[in-house]
Amino acid sequence: MMQGCTGRVVLAAVLGLALLPAEAQVGTKMAAEAIAPADKAADKGPWSAKLAGGYAKTSGNSDSSAANFSGEGRYDKERWHHILGATVVATSSAADRDSPSETTAEAYWGGLKSQYDLTPAWYAFGSLDWYKDRFSAYDHQLYEAAGLGWRILRSEKHKLDLELGAGAKQAKLVSGDDQNEAIGLARGLYTWQISENAAFVQKLAVLSGSDNTYTESVSELKAGIIGNLSMVLGYTWKHNTDVEIDTSLVPPRAFDKTDTYTTVSLEYVF
Distance, CA of 107 to CA of 243 (rounded, Å): 17
pLDDT at 204: 97
CA distances from 235 to 55, 202, 216, 220, 228 (A): 12, 10, 11, 7, 22
pLDDT at 246: 58
- Using a 10 angstrom Cβ sphere, with 0-12 exposed, 13-18 middle and 19 or more buried, the burial of residue 140 is middle
Q: Which residues pair with 67 in a beta bridge?
A: 55, 90
Where exactly are the structural domains of the chain?
2-269
Q: In a 10 Å sphere around its CB, with 0-12 CB exposed, 13-18 middle and 19+ buried, how is residue 77 labelled?
A: exposed
Instruction: Say what the pLDDT of residue 133 is.
Output: 81
User: DSSP characters for 210-249?
Assistant: SS-EEEEEEEEEEEEEETTEEEEEEEEEEEES---EETTS
pTM recorded for the entire structure: 0.76
CA angle in degrees (0–180, nearest 5) for 185-33-26: 55
Among the listed residues 76, 78, 58, 59, the one whose alpha carbon sits nearest the alpha carbon of residue 67 = 58
Output phi, psi for 102, to 5 deg.
-125, 140
CA-CA distance, 128 to 70, in Å (whole number)?
Answer: 17
The reported pLDDT for the residue numbered 74 is: 94
Position 256 scores a pLDDT of 78
Cis peptide before 120 (omega within 30 of 0): no
**pLDDT at residue 26, as a whole number:** 42
Instruction: Output the 3-class SS for 165-192.
Output: EEEEEEEEECCCCEEEEEEEEEEEEEEE
How high is the pLDDT of residue 41? Answer: 60
- pLDDT confidence of residue 99: 52
Nearest to 106 by CA among 96, 93, 121, 91: 91
- Contact present, 79 and 36 (Cβ < 8 Å): no
Specify whether the CB–CB gap between 151 and 157 falls below 8 A. no
Say if CB 169 and CB 142 are below 8 A apart.
yes
- How would you write the pLDDT of the chain (270 residues) with one tens digit per residue? 444 444 444 344 434 433 444 333 343 333 334 566 666 665 567 899 999 999 877 666 655 667 889 999 999 988 999 999 999 887 765 444 455 556 556 789 999 999 999 999 999 999 999 998 876 778 888 999 999 999 999 898 999 999 999 999 999 887 788 889 999 999 999 999 999 999 999 999 999 998 889 999 999 999 999 999 999 999 999 888 877 665 555 455 567 788 888 889 999 998
Question: How open is the CA angle 117-121-123, to the nearest 5 degrees?
Answer: 30
Do 75 and 49 contact (CB within 8 A), yes or no?
no
Identity at 48, one-letter amino acid code: S
The CATH number assigned to the domain with range 2-269 reads 2.40.160.40
Angle (CA) 16 261 201, round 5° = 30
Determine the pLDDT at residue 98. 54
What is the distance between the alpha carbons of residues 157 and 196, in angstroms, rounded to a whole number? 10
